[in-house]
């Protein structure tokens, strides 16, 4: 077991998959000599060559579209969209095209492609380097969406995504890249897509979350433990397909659910998880399902005060949890 | 404009083409036209929900496919909604195509989940995924990139219309293919209309091919109603691709005889005189005239081709009308490779 950062886990997962399968290749902006703006592909061009580590023109639609064509041919492209905020030009290729290939050909073709992208804020990224984009993709049948929070989960799920036969949107929270460290096994391993993980066990309240806010939720749970409340933290890890079995098992135990995400409040993952808790555990609830999320403004603003106002911090999560515990 | 045959009646065949294959093209063109007219009629009878006619485009589509067959060891077609002739030439039977127009069991590309002619058939080298114009062109480029990475020589034909050339995906695709010298043929059927919008409102250049030099690749405009000119230009582009010299833009100047689709009314934006002028370039009549002049086609043989075509299309119509609509048993299948839930 070695202790690594999340960006190191990404780098290891990619390198190991490139070594394992000659069909795997990477395309994206600055992925070659520069090794990626976050260093996810550091030293790759030296080891794997420019044929497999392709520096792309600054044109996201064709990064996704060309990757998709190569995937249909039988290769396993990993397309990097440099910041999730830049994924919108590729939206048509991902949501409009890639997601519909298998259904639209009645199973004759598939798109085994991974689209990796750093997302999320609290990095002084302003409106166009802080966005959370997951809600746009989880709405789309045909896509899988993964958003892990620890080096172990990132590495195991990224390797699983590369080996998956369908298009996977793999979201890496950029604030966690260097701030979150953790142990990863030395040997090859994958984690199943679509399986949540209980990051902390508890009996009084369930927090359902993913990404950076997993860590803030764990901090909040620690604070609340000092106040005598036992909080369970469920890390979804995969947003689509959603592991409702794990969520419902936890909610049935605690009878209270708080959904936490950095993405905007409305029409997002929280709304869907909430609806499914109502459908699956209504009789077990002692309080309404609550959400503690980013607000409905277009994205996290630049100034530190405004950034802080946007972010669901440990304090805000704890406050929401107290309200729910007292209900 | 490429002049593929000399005047004066002595046919100067482009290399690879002979009188026998030219007659094959003609017979196929007769079949395509007969099928096209029939599905339009079935639309008017309320039996075919949507038709995008290929009438006027047949020489561009058949001449290019024949060039690919004759001049490559392997090729693949990324097609669009007006490529009825390409699909037929690629081996889809009239019955299979008709099943698509009537959305019946037996449709081979998408099992009638999609519009006619949409879906995929790898064995017959066709992918036509989407109605969103131009979106398939990056896929064609990715396909060519993958083949090159695998060391599997192929030539990828990306078919699209003049309307699609306004899309950013086309620019991005041409740029990338040229940078990496990929074996892609950008085959543009320019019928000078994007539904109702004339070419003059789509672009400031006279020919789409004028743009090719900006990507560092050759571009050529040929009379797309002249099958010999189409064949020659496409074969030339294929040879460049095979030689590793990269992509070529080939623009076929064609006419669209019918409205954009069966849901369109082109009398709102085109005059009868314009249409009549266009009819003078009918690729089917042109080829018929040429073959007759050359003594390759007799009236009897022509009548025989037409009779065979009618019989085939009648049979295809009967079979498809009798076929059932798809059942809903597999409605939820193939959203994912393994049924993963949502």
Report ipTM for this prediction: 0.97
Instruction: Report whether pLDDT(B7) > 60.
Output: no
| Domain's final residue, options A157, A184, A211 | A184
Q: Does B229 touch chain A (CB under 8 A)?
A: no
For residue A251, CA distances in Å to A205, A206, A240, A325, A327 come to 8, 6, 19, 13, 16
- Per cent of chain B over pLDDT 90 is 95
- Mean pLDDT estimate for chain B: 95
- CA-nearest residue to B154 within chain A is A73
Q: Name which of B262, B237, B98, B73 is nearest B158 in CA terms.
A: B237
Look at residue A192 and tell me if it is in a domain. no
Q: Per residue in A174-189, is it b (16+ CB within 10 Å) or e — as a string?
A: bbbbeebebebeeeee
pLDDT, residue B43, reads 98
Contacts of A243 in chain B (CB under 8 A): none
Give the tens place of pLDDT for each residue, A143-154.
999 999 999 999
Phi, psi of B7 (to 5 degrees): -75, 165
Q: Are residues A61 and A172 in the same domain?
A: yes
Among B100, B138, B150, most A C-beta atoms within 10 A, so best to mutate, is B138
Look at residue A190 and tell me if it is in a domain. no
| Residue in A66, A107, A166 closest to B142 by CB | A66
Whether A69 and B121 lie within 8 Å, measured CB to CB = no
Q: Does A56 touch chain B (CB under 8 A)?
A: yes
Whether A96 and B132 lie within 8 Å, measured CB to CB = yes
Q: Does A97 touch chain B (CB under 8 A)?
A: yes
pLDDT, residue B3, reads 41
Instruction: Report whether pLDDT(B39) > 70.
Output: yes
Instruction: Report whether pLDDT(A264) > 60.
Output: yes
- The residue whose two tokens read 């009996």 is A203
- CA-nearest residue to B176 within chain A is A57
Whether A108 and B121 lie within 8 Å, measured CB to CB = yes
How many Cβ atoms from other residues are within 10 Å of residue A96's Cβ? Answer: 16
Q: How many domains does chain B have?
A: 1
Whether B135 and A97 lie within 8 Å, measured CB to CB = yes
Among A74, A94, A96, A108, most B C-beta atoms within 10 A, so best to mutate, is A108
Look at residue B329 and tell me if it is in a domain. no
Catalytic one of B257, B260, B281, B305: B260
Whether B336 and A104 lie within 8 Å, measured CB to CB = no
Q: Show which residues of A are catalytic.
A: 129
Q: Does B234 touch chain A (CB under 8 A)?
A: no
Q: Are residues A223 and A74 in the same domain?
A: no
| Residue in A92, A108, A193 closest to B122 by CB | A108
| Domain's final residue, options A162, A184, A206 | A184
Look at residue A191 and tell me if it is in a domain. no
Per-residue pLDDT band for B9 (boundaries 50, 70, 90) equals: low
Contacts of B342 in chain A (CB under 8 A): 141, 240-242
Interface of A with B in 8-47 (CB under 8 A): 25
Q: Does B338 touch chain A (CB under 8 A)?
A: yes
Diameter of chain B by CA atoms?
Answer: 68
Q: Are residues A146 and A256 in the same domain?
A: no
Q: Are residues A34 and A136 in the same domain?
A: yes
Contacts of B339 in chain A (CB under 8 A): none
Q: What is the CATH number of the domain that holds B191?
A: 3.40.50.970
Interface A–B counts its CB contacts (< 8 A) at 153
Report the gap between the CA of A295 and the closest CA in chain B (Å).
26
Look at residue A322 and tell me if it is in a domain. yes
Q: Does B327 touch chain A (CB under 8 A)?
A: no
Report the gap between the CA of B173 and the closest CA in chain A (Å).
7
Q: What is the CATH number of the domain that holds A270?
A: 3.40.50.920
Q: Are residues A164 and A285 in the same domain?
A: no
Q: Are residues A68 and A144 in the same domain?
A: yes
Mean pLDDT of A184-199: 97
Q: Are residues A209 and A112 in the same domain?
A: no
How many Cβ atoms from other residues are within 10 Å of residue A252's Cβ? Answer: 15
Mean pLDDT of B261-285: 96
Give the tens place of pLDDT for each residue, A154-178.
999 999 999 999 999 999 999 999 9
Q: How many domains does chain A have?
A: 2
Contact B286, B249 (CB under 8 A): no
Which of helix, strand or coil describes residue A22? coil
Q: What is the CATH number of the domain that holds A130?
A: 3.40.50.970
| Domain's final residue, options A140, A158, A184 | A184
Whether B149 and A70 lie within 8 Å, measured CB to CB = yes
pLDDT, residue B4, reads 44
Question: Which value, to the nearest 10 degrees, does the dihedral of the CA atoms of residues A17, A20, A25, A26 take?
Answer: 30
Contacts of B119 in chain A (CB under 8 A): 104-106, 108
Look at residue A102 and tell me if it is in a domain. yes
Among A55, A89, A104, most B C-beta atoms within 10 A, so best to mutate, is A104
Whether A142 and B333 lie within 8 Å, measured CB to CB = no
Look at residue B323 and tell me if it is in a domain. no
Instruction: Report whether pLDDT(B2) > 70.
Output: no
Q: Are residues A84 and A173 in the same domain?
A: yes
Report the gap between the CA of A327 and the closest CA in chain B (Å).
31
Contacts of A247 in chain B (CB under 8 A): none
pLDDT, residue B10, reads 67
How many Cβ atoms from other residues are within 10 Å of residue A74's Cβ? Answer: 14
Instruction: Report whether pLDDT(B281) > 70.
Output: yes
Whether A73 and B333 lie within 8 Å, measured CB to CB = no
Q: What is the rounded distance in angstroms from the CA atom of residue A189 to the CA atom of residue A187?
A: 6
Catalytic one of B26, B256, B257, B281: B256
Look at residue B327 and tell me if it is in a domain. no
Mean pLDDT of B55-77: 98
Token readout for A312 is 């669901």
Q: What is the domain range of residue B229?
A: 21-318
Per-residue pLDDT band for B11 (boundaries 50, 70, 90) equals: confident
What pTM value is reported for the model? Answer: 0.97
Which of helix, strand or coil describes residue B220? strand
Write the CB contacts of A291 (distance below 8 Å, at least 6 apart in sequence).
Answer: A258, A259, A260, A261, A265, A270, A271, A274, A320
Q: Does B168 touch chain A (CB under 8 A)?
A: yes
- Mean pLDDT estimate for chain A: 98
Token readout for B339 is 């049924």
Per-residue pLDDT band for B12 (boundaries 50, 70, 90) equals: confident
Q: Are residues A92 and A160 in the same domain?
A: yes
Query: How many CA atoms within 13 Å lie on the side-chain side of A267?
Result: 6
Q: What is the domain range of residue A62?
A: 2-184
Look at residue A297 and tell me if it is in a domain. yes
Mean pLDDT of A308-314: 98
Q: Are residues A178 and A215 in the same domain?
A: no
Instruction: Report whether pLDDT(A130) > 70.
Output: yes
Residue A314 parent element (H or E): helix A314-326
Q: Are residues A175 and A74 in the same domain?
A: yes
Look at residue B45 and tell me if it is in a domain. yes
Look at residue B156 and tell me if it is in a domain. yes
Look at residue B115 and tell me if it is in a domain. yes
Look at residue B217 and tell me if it is in a domain. yes
Mean pLDDT of B273-290: 96
Q: Are residues A203 and A180 in the same domain?
A: no
Give the tens place of pLDDT for each residue, A4-57.
999 999 999 999 999 999 999 999 999 999 999 999 999 999 999 999 999 999
């Amino acid at each position: 077991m070695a202790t690594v950062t999340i960006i190191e886990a990404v780098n290891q997962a990619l390198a190991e998959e490139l070594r394992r399968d000659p069909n795997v290749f990477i395309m994206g902006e600055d992925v070659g000599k520069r090794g990626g703006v976050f260093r996810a592909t550091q030293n790759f061009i030296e080891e794997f060559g420019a044929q497999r580590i392709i520096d792309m023109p600054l044109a996201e639609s064709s990064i996704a579209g060309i990757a998709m064509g190569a995937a249909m041919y039988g290769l396993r492209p990993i397309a990097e969209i440099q910041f999730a905020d830049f994924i919108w030009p590729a939206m048509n290729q991902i949501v409009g095209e890639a997601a519909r290939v298998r259904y639209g050909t009645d199973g004759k073709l598939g798109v085994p492609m991974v689209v990796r992208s750093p997302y999320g804020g609290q990095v002084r990224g302003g409106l166009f380097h802080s966005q959370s984009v997951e809600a746009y993709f989880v709405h789309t049948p045909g896509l899988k969406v993964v958003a892990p929070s620890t080096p172990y989960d990132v590495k195991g799920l990224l390797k699983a995504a590369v080996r998956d036969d369908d298009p996977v949107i793999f979201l890496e929270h950029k604030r966690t890249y260097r701030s979150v460290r953790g142990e990863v096994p030395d040997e090859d391993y994958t984690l199943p897509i679509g399986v949540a993980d209980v990051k902390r066990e508890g009996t009084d309240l369930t927090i359902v979350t993913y990404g950076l806010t997993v860590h803030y939720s764990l901090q909040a749970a620690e604070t609340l433990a000092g106040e005598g409340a036992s909080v369970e933290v469920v890390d979804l890890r995969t947003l689509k397909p959603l592991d409702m079995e794990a969520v419902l098992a936890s909610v049935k135990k605690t009878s209270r659910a708080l959904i936490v995400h950095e993405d905007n409040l409305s029409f997002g993952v929280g709304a869907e998880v909430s609806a499914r808790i109502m459908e699956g555990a209504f009789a077990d609830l002692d309080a309404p399902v609550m959400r503690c999320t980013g607000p409905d403004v277009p994205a996290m603003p630049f100034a530190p005060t405004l950034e802080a106002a946007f972010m669901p911090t440990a304090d805000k999560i704890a406050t929401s949890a107290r309200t729910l515990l007292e209900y | 404009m490429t002049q593929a045959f000399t005047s004066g009646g002595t046919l100067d065949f482009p290399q690879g083409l002979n009188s026998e294959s030219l007659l094959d093209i003609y017979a196929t063109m007769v079949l395509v036209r007969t099928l096209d007219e029939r599905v339009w009629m079935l639309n008017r009878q309320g039996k075919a929900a949507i038709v995008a006619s290929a009438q006027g485009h047949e020489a561009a589509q058949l001449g290019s496919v024949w060039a690919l067959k004759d001049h490559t060891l392997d090729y693949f077609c990324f097609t669009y909604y007006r490529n009825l002739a390409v699909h037929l030439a690629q081996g889809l039977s009239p019955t299979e195509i008709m099943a698509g127009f009537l959305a019946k069991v037996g449709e081979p590309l998408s099992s009638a989940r999609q519009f006619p002619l949409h879906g995929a058939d790898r064995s017959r080298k066709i992918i036509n995924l989407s109605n969103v114009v131009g979106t398939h062109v990056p896929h064609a480029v990715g396909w060519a990139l993958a083949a090159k990475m695998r060391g599997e020589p192929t030539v990828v034909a990306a078919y699209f219309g003049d309307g699609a050339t306004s899309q950013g995906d086309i620019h991005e695709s041409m740029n990338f293919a040229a940078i990496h010298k990929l074996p892609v043929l950008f085959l543009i059927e320019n019928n000078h209309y994007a539904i109702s919008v004339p070419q003059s409102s789509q672009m400031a250049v006279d020919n789409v091919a004028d743009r090719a030099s900006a990507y560092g690749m050759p571009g050529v405009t040929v009379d797309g109603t002249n099958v010999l000119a189409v064949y020659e230009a496409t074969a030339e582009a294929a040879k460049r691709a095979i030689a590793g010299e990269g992509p070529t833009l080939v623009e076929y100047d064609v006419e669209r005889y019918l409205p954009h689709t069966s849901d369109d009314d082109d009398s709102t934006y085109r005059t009868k005189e314009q249409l009549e002028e266009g009819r003078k370039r009918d690729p089917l009549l042109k080829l018929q005239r040429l073959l007759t002049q050359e003594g390759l086609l007799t009236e009897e043989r022509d009548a025989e081709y037409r009779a065979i075509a009618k019989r085939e299309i009648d049979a295809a119509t009967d079979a498809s009308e009798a076929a059932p609509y798809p059942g809903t048993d597999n409605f939820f299948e193939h959203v994912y490779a393994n049924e993963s839930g949502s």
